[in-house]
Chains A and B, each alone.
Chain A
């Protein structure tokens, strides 16, 4: 009799425990977090727990490379975080194709139509959605109004003239008309707008377009500007990055990432504009998103976290706290523009994002090959035709 009781008690306990399991386990979020992000993110997670009662355990890594290496280790070892961040495009395809990500179509309860479509597209793989954009940054034309000889250019030919006219001085005093970090990261919009569709939406390289006259024209334009002494790069100027040459007023025009606005100081008569166009408008997008691991044991809770992070309030707060770049939803961007009504750059970004191409879509190997060839063209005097040949060589 006693024995039976004991067994029954044990069984009851076991069932009770099994029922409890899973409801109180915290979900883990992993991210690369530098600067003040860890602090601010913790505050954000506290808000989330208050609202939903779901506990969150935060994993932060000191740098981008370490973050990804740790992710690989965790996924391989079966201890992947429930939610983590991945760049849109190539990375998403890679992880999804290996089955490391959970398809989000069924589990998310929010309106994906509110997101900028150019951003969301980077998170599809084989027609399934695998990630939700967390923020974005884009590229724009920066200018110093007081260094320009006239209006801000809106077409490519105006742009070329403006660059040439704005160049003045020599030696230390020299001001270049145009500055750019000559990489596919920043020059691709020029190539697209001048009519060379060298890359497909999924990042595939179109060889015919690579060898087209339009592509050659685009490259020739850049080469002529550099060779003629009208343009410079951070490398040539000994600067650490392109923001530096703009901040030091070494250039009148600069095409770069939207984060450069950080160097526009007090008293600068500067601004941002859309890329001068010849055909279709274009810009570069840097978008990262939240994904759920396919190993996750709490996908529902994870989904709630992502939805929380995509609300207007959290997106706006995130931008103000420095947690994210630009908000990826249209409603949040509107809210942000209202909040920061004295910020003249936000409306430009809102325009430019619609025609953006996600940088993450490009194969990293192609990026390196293209950039190296581009650098050789500008610094080593390689001809445009030879450059294109080098870009296509694998």
Chain B
């Protein structure tokens, strides 16, 4: 590659990178400020910083319990999503059957309704199943996601048929082809799905906030919101400390997995 091109690319990307990191840096900085009144005053003298916010969060709440709640629910949800969404996406991409188009538009359609409108009706459904204020209520309604289905469908549309034919010739049944060939080879798409499903559910606030009523069942975002907002004033410094705590797993996950978003190079597998 020509040197100049490379340099240009670096410049653009570094510029973008700096821009991107700005709110994160601000969050980091604010989280260590002790007094809310000092927030937007730039760099302060060292005595105005401290770990007090973090200490407050860890001592005044069920943070560990909430973190575990979040981890368990999000993991279960993510794994289920990966499986169910991929199954549905594959079916929509690969088979011909009556009603396929309708189902596809149904999938798209369910994404087009903003949650705010159906919030209370969803709550009512959860209530009818007796799952209010339970872990089931936090998990079951979220085991599938139309975006995941859409993503996998588009992926499988571009998937080469040859390898499936090979599988069939080797005696695999239809479902066998899916579980033993199509699914394993969709690693990059599945990982992409995994990242978003995880992030969305980890940060999910709106629905869980009305489903759950007992402190011990709160997920991390709920609990954090509760302890950093006192009745009349929100403590921004504590909120930022809390944001960091909540942010960490997501960042770690992404850093680790973005390396693996490597294509599985299906074509080479055919060889």
User: Residues of A at under 8 Å CB distance from B?
Assistant: 30, 33-38, 58-63, 66, 69-70, 72-74, 76-77, 79, 137, 238, 240-241, 243-244, 247-248, 257, 259, 262-263, 322, 325
Contact = CB atoms under 8 A, between A and B. Distances in A.
Given A36-B60, A238-B40, A70 B213 contact: yes
B231 A79 contact: no
Contacts, number: 88
Interface residues of B, number: 31
Q: Which 9 A-B pairs have the closest CB atoms?
A: A73-B123, A35-B230, A66-B209, A59-B213, A70-B210, A77-B127, A62-B226, A259-B232, A34-B229
B213 A60 contact: yes
A247 B120 CA distance: 40
B84 to A, nearest CB: 26
Given A34-B229, A79-B132, A243-B233, A61 B124 contact: no
B227 interface: yes
Contacts of A63: 209, 225-226, 229
Contacts of A244: 36-37
B218 interface: yes
Contacts of A76: 120, 124
A34 B226 contact: yes
Contacts of A238: 40
B215 interface: yes
B194 to A, nearest CB: 27
A79 B132 CA distance: 10
B244 interface: no
B14 interface: no
Contact of B37 (A33, A35, A247): A247
A79 B127 contact: yes
Given A66-B206, A262-B233, 10 more contacts: A33-B226, A34-B229, A38-B215, A60-B214, A61-B210, A62-B225, A240-B36, A244-B37, A259-B232, A325-B231
Interface in B186-240: 206, 209-210, 213-215, 218, 222-223, 225-227, 229-233, 236
A73 B37 contact: no
A69 B210 contact: yes
Given A60-B213, A62-B225, A247-B37, A77 B231 contact: no
Contacts of B259: none
A241 B231 CA distance: 14
A309 B218 CA distance: 27
A259 B233 CA distance: 9
A72 B124 CA distance: 10
Interface in B33-58: 36-37, 39-40
**Interface SS majority for chain B:** helix
B127 A35 contact: no
Contacts of A74: 127
A153 to B, nearest CB: 26
Nearest to A258: B232
A18 to B, nearest CB: 23
Interface in B20-42: 36-37, 39-40
Residue among B120, B210, B222 with max Cβ neighbours from chain A (10 Å)? B210
A243 B218 CA distance: 31
A276 to B, nearest CB: 24
A66 B229 CA distance: 13
Contacts of B225: 34, 62-63
B127 A257 contact: no
A78 to B, nearest CB: 8
Nearest to B133: A59
Contacts of A38: 215, 226
Contacts of B124: 73, 76-77
Nearest to B221: A62
A74 B124 CA distance: 8
Nearest to A259: B232
A157 to B, nearest CB: 32
25 contacts: A30-B213, A34-B226, A34-B231, A35-B230, A35-B231, A36-B60, A37-B231, A38-B215, A59-B213, A61-B213, A69-B123, A69-B210, A70-B123, A72-B120, A73-B120, A73-B123, A73-B124, A74-B127, A76-B124, A238-B40, A241-B233, A244-B36, A244-B37, A259-B233, A325-B231
A193 to B, nearest CB: 25
B119 interface: yes
B212 to A, nearest CB: 9
B204 to A, nearest CB: 12
Contacts of A77: 123-124, 127-128
Contacts of B223: 62
A240 B38 CA distance: 11
Contacts of B133: 59
A30 B213 CA distance: 9
Interface in B50-99: 60
B232 A62 contact: no
Contacts of B213: 30, 59-61, 70
